[in-house]
Chain A
């Protein structure tokens, strides 16, 4: 066994331990409650000079968007490792993260649309580069889930993995779009001194941690489900590995 495959099998064991630990479940609960307490009790509802209660949607909109990127990045890494080493775990991880990432991206779009109605007075803007590229990401990962569900175990899972690698190209393009092109509505918030969104850093960080715990918990559940499905397949035909 080479050094790198050794590292990968350790990483696999570490990931399995993280997603299955009770700490993740409790972390999700505790940070989720603290995040909501901060959002509704501490954070200011004035953003971009507009005072409106729905501005508080921003905290989970941003947190879900960032964790969606992490999830879709995990799909990319899992797919790439599956293509290289063919370990069943990597494909399970890629699909589980892709499904959770798709859910988070959907919620990001819904919350973003509602927040946009408050600060831009519009539910959706086809002229804005971030909104349109993020919608492209959403469609790409909807396609990934369709391709994965249409594949047979062992025989053509390869197609879903190739799709998972190529489809990821859209993710950095969307997240960097406001820096690559001129945004019309959705401006760069992080590291942009010209924009004063008035977002409370503590509330945002706690919401991010809560969304990350939630992501780990959901991916863990989904991987367990994959393993049970595989166990059933093995019991039906014991010769399959």
Chain B
């Protein structure tokens, strides 16, 4: 596989999975915070 092609699609995957992971980690932290505040 061409190195540029590999680098391009790897960048897309890393950026998208990184963003989703960031959102989900932040959301679970916020959900914990909501539960703590309700208790």
Contacts and interface: CB of A to CB of B under 8 A. Distances in A.
B partners with A: yes
Interface of A: 52-54, 56-57, 60, 64, 103, 106-107, 110-111, 114-115, 117-118, 214, 218, 221-222, 224-225, 228-229, 231-232, 235-236
A60 B9 contact: yes
A19 to B, nearest CB: 13
B28 to A, nearest CB: 10
Contacts of A118: 4
Nearest to A53: B2
Given A111-B11, A225-B30, 9 more contacts: A57-B5, A60-B8, A103-B19, A107-B12, A114-B4, A214-B16, A218-B23, A221-B27, A232-B30
B16 to A, nearest CB: 7
Contacts of A107: 11-12, 15
Contacts of A231: 34
Contact of A110 (B8, B19, B30, B37): B8
Contact of B5 (A53, A64, A224, A232): A53
Contacts of B9: 57, 60
Closest 6 CB pairs of A and B: A53-B2, A54-B4, A228-B30, A235-B37, A57-B8, A54-B5
A118 B2 CA distance: 11
B20 A218 contact: yes
27 contacts: A53-B1, A53-B5, A54-B4, A54-B5, A57-B4, A60-B8, A103-B16, A103-B19, A110-B8, A110-B11, A111-B11, A111-B12, A114-B4, A114-B7, A118-B4, A218-B23, A221-B20, A224-B27, A225-B23, A225-B27, A228-B30, A228-B31, A229-B30, A232-B30, A232-B33, A232-B34, A232-B37
